[in-house]
Amino acid sequence: MKEVVLITGAGGLVAKELAKKLEKDYTIRFLTRKKKHENEFEWDLSNGTIDENAFESISHIIHLAGANISEKRWTDERKKELISSRIDSANLILKTLQKKNIKLKSFITASGINYYGTKTTDKIFTEKDGPGNDFLSEVVILWERAADDFKEQNLAERVVKIRTAVVLSEKDGALKKMLPTIKSGIGSPLGSGKQYMPWIHIKDICSIYEFALKNSEIDGAYNAVSPQHITNEDLTKKTAEVLGKPLFMPNVPSFVLKLIFGELADALLEGSRASSQKIQEAGFHFEFPDLTITLKDLLKK
């Protein structure tokens, strides 16, 4: 009998790819806003409703739900949504587990590498370091605190927090957004281009979730970030190189990005490095630790 894994954030790239990876060994269910398939169950955060049938006989939850950080300008309303989509969703799940008297083997949640702040610095952050003091740090602190409640309330034997870097995929996210301009020969780095950009291949982030799921000794926070540190300029240049495209346009000025994106521009113009040593020492091996190999794999089609 396969163990049941309930995944939130069904429409996201990681959820879709992860489900494919796990379906051989686990029974997969999704929580989604609109049911389309038999293994999907609806929930509605605005109304605080959830289909409790999703929780029958479950052993694990992988919590990936959360509004996209870089999709819209950070208005006060948007900031509330970014926090609510992560914290309120976790709290709704927690209350449902309490109501049904269910204790999970594991609650594994997405988190953000922005825990450490977005300020560019020479420091390489580890899980022993404390949080930063900007908006994204605040989001991640609240996000992880909501996850820790599952263990504190004795609703999960362990809680794993995956502090995720920028996920590189040709299907969605930062890389996909860069491709049209680079393919057109007008791509360019953002701001100084010297800001660090923690990153991870889509296959590796899915493998980290699988690793966390299958290894019961994995507990607490882990940086999900490639061991190779790159800058925004590195990513832009390497992408152009792999695509065989010229890169001669000047960098996009910081003030232009701030005019377009407002406070969100800070997340694009600043960045710090983070260590992947802890997850590697736990026994995880990156399939794509190198940027050039990563881009060739993603863009080979």
Pick the residue with more confidence: 91 or 118?
A: 91
Q: What is the pLDDT of residue 246?
A: 85
10-47 per-position pLDDT tens digit? 888 999 999 999 999 999 999 998 888 889 999 998 89
Helix (H) or strand (E) holding 212: helix 202-214
Residue 253's pLDDT is 65
Span of 20-24, 115-119, 201-205, 290-294 with lowest mean pLDDT:
115-119
Answer for the pair 228, 290: CB distance below 8 angstroms, yes or no: yes
Alpha carbon distance 65, 15 (integer Å): 9
Q: What is the pLDDT of residues 66-85, one digit of tens each?
A: 988 888 888 999 999 999 99
The yes-or-no verdict on residue 295 having pLDDT over 90 is yes
Question: What integer pLDDT is reported at residue 255 of this predicted model?
Answer: 63
Helix (H/G/I), strand (E/B), else coil: 185: coil
Query: Given a cut of 90, is residue 290 above it in pLDDT?
Result: yes
In the predicted structure, residue 263 carries a pLDDT above the cut 80: no
Long-range contacts of 129-136 (CB under 8 A, 24+ apart): 134/266, 135/74, 135/79, 135/263, 136/69, 136/112, 136/267
- pTM confidence score: 0.94
Tell me the C-alpha distance between 265 and 192, whole Å: 13
**Domains of the chain, CATH where assigned:** 3-167+201-225 (3.40.50.720)
- pLDDT tens for residues 162-173? 999 999 999 988
Integer Cα distance of 256 and 262 in angstroms: 10
pLDDT for the residue 121? 74
pLDDT (0 to 100) of residue 269: 67
pLDDT tier at 129, thresholds 50, 70, 90 = very high
Report the percent of the chain where pLDDT is more than 70. Answer: 97
Q: Which residues touch 300 (CB under 8 Å, ≥6 apart)? A: none
Give the per-residue pLDDT at 71.
82
- The region of weakest confidence among 92-101, 191-200, 257-266 is 257-266
Q: How confident is the model at residue 187 (pLDDT cuts 50, 70, 90)?
A: confident
- On the question of pLDDT at 254 being above 80, the answer is no
Tell me which of 252 and 127 has the higher pLDDT: 127
| Region of poorest pLDDT, from 46-55, 185-194, 205-214 | 185-194
Predicted local confidence at residue 230, as pLDDT: 93
pLDDT at 84: 92
Residue type at 226? S
